Amino acid sequence: MPKQVDHRERRETIARALWRVVEQRGVAHLTLREVAREAGMSHGQLQHYFATRAEMLSFAMDFASEQASLRVSRGLQEFGDRPHPRDVLRVMLTEMLPLHADARAAGRMSAAYVLEALHDEEIHARARDGMLRGRGLVEQLVRQAVADGHIRPGRDPAVETDLLLALTGFTPLIELNVVEPRDALAAVDQYLDRLFA
């Protein structure tokens, strides 16, 4: 009897191979052939799942987002059923920083994705929609924290959201050894302390 292929698992294998290519060799090596080689399959097998580099990159970003959401959920488990909004925001923000291998790979993937989005309208629309959804989630948390009295009512939730997301700008500074991870975390904590004072 022929072996059943789990197509979702195969696509995830390809996505992880793509992450490794970007992380180890850089976005310039991000080709279907290079990813197929890294995934241990033929170019033709890979094209059965992804006809173009853009399709493959979009799936890899979706997969990276799913994995990040799972890591955030696991990180929040230690805070119980009703975590404080400061804890939720800290876990979300720190998960976007390259502080461990998966987050580092996701950050590099994200950078490649943004570069691709600048020259591909379809990817641009997908990337923008994803970022808008993520920003909306953060703003919703901030608005709720204001409504619940955790943040002073005079704070503008839209501006605070933008400032919180700006903290993820530490990624290239950490990657290029300009800022130490502990210093980036200290800045995140200090900002959250001020916001929730």
CATH second-level architecture of 53-195? Orthogonal Bundle (1.10)
Whether residue 1 is predicted with pLDDT greater than 60 in this model: the reply is: no
Confidence of residue 84 (pLDDT cuts 50, 70, 90): very high
Whether residue 93 is predicted with pLDDT greater than 70 in this model: the reply is: yes
Whether residue 86 is predicted with pLDDT greater than 80 in this model: the reply is: yes
DSSP alpha helix (H) spans, the chain: 7-25, 32-39, 43-49, 53-77, 85-95, 101-117, 121-147, 157-166, 170-175, 181-195
Burial (CB count within 10 angstroms: exposed 0-12, middle 13-18, buried 19+), residue 71: middle
Confidence of residue 22 (pLDDT cuts 50, 70, 90): confident
Confidence of residue 5 (pLDDT cuts 50, 70, 90): low
Q: What is the pLDDT of residue 3?
A: 55
Q: What is the pLDDT of residue 64?
A: 85
Q: What is the pLDDT of residue 171?
A: 94
Domain residue spans in the chain? Answer: 53-195
Full-model pTM: 0.84
> pLDDT by residue (tens digit) across 117-162?
899 898 899 999 999 999 999 999 999 999 999 999 999 999 999 9
